Amino acid sequence: MTRMRAVDAITLILEKEGATEAFGLPGAAINPLYSAMKAHGGIRHTLHRHVEGASHAADGYSRATGGIGVCIGTSGPAGTDMITGLYAAIADSIPMLCITGQAPTSVLHKEDFQAVDIESIAKPVTKFASTILEPGLVPGTFAKAFQVMRSSRPGPVLLDLPLNVQLAEIEFDIDAYEPLPPLRPQATRAQAEKILDLLVQAKRPLLIAGGGVINANASELLVELAEELNLPVSPTLMGWGAIADDHRLQAGMVGIQTHTKYGNDTFLASDFVLGIGNRWANRHTGDLETYRRGRTFVHVDIEPTQIGRVFSPDLGIVSDAGAALEQLLAAAKQRKADGTLPQYGAWADECTARKGTGHRKTNFENIPIKPQRVYQEMNAAFGQDTTYVSTIGLSQIAGAQMLHVFGPRQWINAGQAGPLGWTGPAALGVVRGKPNQRVVALSGDYDFQFMIEELAVGAQFKLPYIHVVVNNSYLGLIRQSQRAFEMDYHVSLAFENINSPETNGYGVDHVKVAEGLGCKAVRVEDPARLAEGFAEAGRLAEEHQVPVVVEVILERVTNISMGASLDAVNEFEELAGSAEDAPTALVPLAAAQDATAEPVGAGV
């Protein structure tokens, strides 16, 4: 055993647990931990301009890598600033470790400077939150924290460290420390057989792949099972990328906002739904009566309390997604060998052909630019290895309807919480986790403005990515929802900028702000220049190793397709009448007439 400060033990634990990527801000109450990190040298730290931004960066890192990002801040407001980040992480089952400094234990009851009960504040948005009051509890509490983060449904943890606890010396031997094994329920072969017993009774079965598939790193198993059964797969928003968009069995996303029309049509034609690692989120299901009518449901999820939370399935199985897929695959192969597995080729071909129908028009030439054209050009400009980062708004909804994703952890999205400002700092965390890979963020102008100061972090630490800002100078999603109240109230961001008349009444000059923060920026006002703008952004990011903003000036008002139920989505624009109208389609529109058509990568 070696005698050392508690904070020195913490750095050794972080290293052994593999949590060596930290994002945060030092301060008086957390400086001992920073001194330990400096002495240790193995924890890389990125200095942020806002602690909320640091929490989103840690979240983005965790999502991009499957590891655990660490967010660090001082006492008081640093912890309260982390709450939105913790909420975004727990809402989407993302492991993240937040560490805060705290006033000494002797004054916690005396309203000391920046002494706040962050444990109580954080508990509703974490899996575990604790103020460590005894130095000897430090190693065990950190071991428990990592186990909790990784067990069952993953999620964030907050550990609060009083100043005297950090500085206290304890006996600690890192060689005797071992990470605690995560607890993950495992489906049995018998449970897999029960699932298949229900599935084989169906004529038009559909697999729903949720974020649990990606959390379990089980995307390859999912695709193998789909191919073995010859079944179409619909990813949820959090599961997007579990099966590549251009795979013949990728049937399109289902939902009332983030969806494809052919995905909804395929779901409505199905008679059996197997959900793996998903939550039945309300933006996925819409009206439950429509969603459930005429279908048998099986729900597999790692968290027992998710089974039956939204509706009671015909069969519920508590299991890690990867373990369930392994058992299902083994059972399916045995049944195939025995000749007892139905043939679903005609149904699969029907779903593949449907991918050539109902596409939304994207090939607009309007000035100001219509947003649909932006996603068409993004598909053409950015390759299949691109990782997209987005959070909320019409930009994210339209992006999910029209962009293409080709692999797991290539769509990074704060899906349930949807906090404005998340995109930029999260993208910085993604870049930390995916160095030398193309990262493209997508924001509306308000999301971008929320934490715009975080661009300076990317400039300081040479974290290059492309940030596409679709600027209509409106709170577009809120404006669209205000239509029900027949109002357009406090949702316009437009004003005459006396310092930048070239913004033509759109208000904030995002180009000047980005450049003032040490980044590069390109403004595009003509759709014919979008490809050129994206290419220039890629060149600038590579040359200067900083974030590059591509501000696209949009028409002020565009309504994006959405509705209350899967069979009642409002289409505010005419659907594409030809392949030329929708070059973002992965299947030519003519393929709707050909049941054997294979998807191609048109426009990608």
Q: What is the pLDDT of residues 333-368, one digit of tens each?
A: 999 999 999 999 999 999 999 998 889 999 999 999
Is a pLDDT exceeding 70 seen at residue 496?
A: yes
For the domain spanning 189-354, the CATH number is 3.40.50.1220
Amino acid at 364: F
CA–CA distance, 330 with 326 (Å, rounded to integer): 6
Amino acid at 531: A
Instruction: Kindly list the distances between the CA atom of residue 412 and the CA atoms of 19, 405, 471, in Å, as whole numbers in the listed order.
Output: 20, 11, 21
Is a pLDDT exceeding 60 seen at residue 467?
A: yes
pLDDT number for residue 602: 26
Q: Which two tokens stand for residue 190?
A: 């018998």
Q: Three-class SS string for 137-181?
A: HHHHHHHHHHHHHHCCCCCCEEEEEEHHHHHCEEEECHHHCCCCC
CB 480 within 8 A of CB 557: no
The class (CATH top level) of 371-560 is alpha beta
> What SS3 class is residue 88?
helix
> What SS3 class is residue 43?
coil
pLDDT number for residue 162: 98
CA–CA distance, 321 with 300 (Å, rounded to integer): 7
Most confident of 410-419, 459-468, 495-504: 459-468
Mean pLDDT of 421-449: 96
**How many other CB atoms are there within 10 angstroms of residue 567's CB atom?**
15
Half-sphere exposure of 99 (CA within 13 A, CB side): 32
**How many other CB atoms are there within 10 angstroms of residue 602's CB atom?**
16
pLDDT number for residue 587: 60
To which CATH superfamily is domain 2-176 assigned?
A: Thiamin diphosphate (ThDP)-binding fold, Pyr/PP domains (3.40.50.970)
Q: What is the pLDDT of residues 146-186, one digit of tens each?
A: 999 999 999 999 999 999 999 999 999 999 999 999 999 99
CA–CA distance, 534 with 594 (Å, rounded to integer): 35
Within 8 A by CB and 6+ apart from 316, the residues are 298, 299, 300, 301, 307, 308
Instruction: Kindly list the distances between the CA atom of residue 539 and the CA atoms of 331, 519, 533, in Å, as whole numbers in the listed order.
Output: 50, 13, 10
**Residue listed under structure tokens 């939550």:** 279
**Residue listed under structure tokens 């990328």:** 241
CA–CA distance, 136 with 132 (Å, rounded to integer): 9
CB 356 within 8 A of CB 587: yes
DSSP 452: G
DSSP string, 483-502: GGGT---S-B--B--TT-GG
CA–CA distance, 601 with 588 (Å, rounded to integer): 9
pTM of the model: 0.94
Q: What is the pLDDT of residues 70-112, one digit of tens each?
A: 999 999 999 999 999 999 999 999 999 999 999 999 988 888 8
Half-sphere exposure of 117 (CA within 13 A, CB side): 6
Any idea where the domains of the chain sit in the sequence? Answer: 2-176, 189-354, 371-560
Domains 189-354 and 371-560 agree in fold: yes
Phi, psi of 412 (to 5 degrees): -110, 110
CA–CA distance, 549 with 474 (Å, rounded to integer): 18
pLDDT number for residue 224: 98
> What SS3 class is residue 477?
helix
Residue (of 199, 255, 179) closest to 18 by Cα position: 179
DSSP 135: G
CA–CA distance, 320 with 357 (Å, rounded to integer): 35
Which comes out higher in pLDDT, residue 324 or 1? 324
Q: What angle do CA 268, 271, 275 make, to 5 degrees?
A: 85
